[in-house]
Amino acid sequence: MAVNALATYVLLDDDDCQQRIAQAKQILGKDLVILGHHYQREEVFTHADFAGDSLKLAREAAQSQAKYIVFCGVHFMAEVADILSRPEQVSILPDLAAGCSMADMANLAKVEKAWQELNQVLNVENTVTPMTYINSAADLKAFCGRHGGVVCTSSNAKYVLDWAFERREKVLFFPDQHLGRNTGATMGIPLEDMVVWDFDKPYGGLEQPQIKQAKIILWKGFCSVHQLFQTKHIDDFLAKYPETKVISHPESSYEVCQKSDYVGSTEYIIKTIKEAPNNTRWLVGTELNLVERLAQQYKHQGKSIHFMSPTLCKCSTMFRIDPQHLLWVLEQLVEGKVVNRITVPATVAKEAKLALQRMLDIF
């Protein structure tokens, strides 16, 4: 029945949806909070009650009075909202197909296999801390929870790595190799001490001496958007506009980050550009929706803000959240029906929350 109802919504034009979304929000009132990730398309982002990155949004929703948390983001974000929210709150993802290609590169079976193989070379429980980027499934956060591990964000990865190294000599970092490598490099860890674990090969494609020497074992994962950026893009742009400041997200490659004037999380990028002098030019290595939003927001200050890649690419899975799906879930709530609820099993949520709480205690 719900699927058939959705089919009729898909045919609606955006203008129709905007008006009805506003009406549904007014009816639901304080029972509803809509969360909008920075990478979300503008026609959805405009309806967000809170905007930010995934952890910030989940925490704000948990502290709100809302009964219904509609997360305009991707699947792992709605999971984090469910884990951190109160029992009476309901986490909803407008389109269940909105996943994360990076998060999908590490699943529980592959991580457990890697853990077992590492244990044949090292005593993992005494020497390796599992550390997952928040861009991962709940069961991987739970894996970290039960093995003395922790979660990190792009904002706090350095502090969390410091915490991990105080406890054990090595870190298994997943799913994004670039965040791990870039963060390790800022801490002075040589590149040769950060090895890549290829999850499709026995022992990650590594020899035992490489595993024993490594400080950080990096999962062979990446963000499909941030991997587009290349040093050539920076060089070509600077040749035309040498006054440009370059700022990149640490999910970009090591080479791109080394050529950037600033490297940091989405919130850091927003803050840096906001506080920059008027009439400055910026080349930005992060998701297109955010870059376009910043360009519009600060053009009155004479700031020229450009997307780093000549190929325009948005987060395709985030893009699945459209006004039609948002309207559908809201009008179902008005009728007293909950669709697309995201529920993390209690045992998984408990262990995942342990890993999340370790992070929150650090930073």
Q: Provide the domain count of the chain.
A: 3
Q: Are 170 and 136 a contacting pair, CB within 8 Å?
A: no
Residue 6 and residue 16 in one domain: yes
Would 169 be classed as within a structural domain? Answer: yes
The whole-number pLDDT of residue 2 equals: 54
274 within domain boundaries: yes
Same domain, 127 and 202: yes
Say if 351 falls within a structural domain.
Answer: no
pLDDT under 50: residue ranges of the chain: 1
The pLDDT of residue 1? 43
Residues 188 and 108 in one domain: yes
Q: How many whole angstroms separate alpha carbon 93 and alpha carbon 321?
A: 8
My answer on whether 27 and 90 are in the same domain is yes
Q: Could you tell me if 12 and 90 lie in one domain?
A: yes
Domain that holds residue 293: 226-307
Whichever domain contains 200, its CATH number is 3.40.50
Nearest to 285 by CA among 308, 259, 269, 311: 308
- Contacts for 136 with CB less than 8 Å, ≥ 6 apart: 76, 103, 106, 151, 174, 175
Distance of CA 53 to the CA centre of its chain: 7
User: Are residues 292 and 253 part of one domain?
Assistant: yes
Residues 6+ apart with CB under 8 A from 15: none
Residue 247, both tokens:
């700022």
Residue that is last in its domain, among 159, 190, 224: 224
For residues 192 and 253, membership in a common domain is answered with no
pLDDT computed for residue 338 by the predictor: 97
Tell me, yes or no, whether 359 lies in a domain.
no
Task: Give pLDDT, residue 102.
Answer: 87
Residue 168 shares a structural domain with residue 94? no
**pTM tops 0.75, yes or no:** yes
Q: Is 101 left (phi over 0), alpha (psi -120 to 50) or beta?
A: alpha
Sign of the CA dihedral 245, 298, 265, 227? Answer: negative
CATH number at 17 reads: 3.40.50.10800
Same domain, 209 and 141: yes
Residue 116 lies in a domain: yes
Over its C-alpha atoms, the chain yields an Rg (Å, rounded) of 21
The answer to the question of residue 358 being in a domain is no
Tokens of 179: 């965040």
pLDDT for the residue numbered 316? 66
Residues 55 and 123 in one domain: no
- Is the residue at 90 inside a domain? yes
Judge if 71 and 87 occupy the same domain.
yes
Torsions phi, psi for 42 (to 5 deg)? -60, -40
Specify whether the CB–CB gap between 246 and 260 falls below 8 A: yes
In-domain check, residue 360: no
Same domain? For 61 and 37 the reply is yes
The domain boundary, picked from 224, 245, 273, lies at: 224
| End residue of a domain, out of 256, 281, 307 | 307
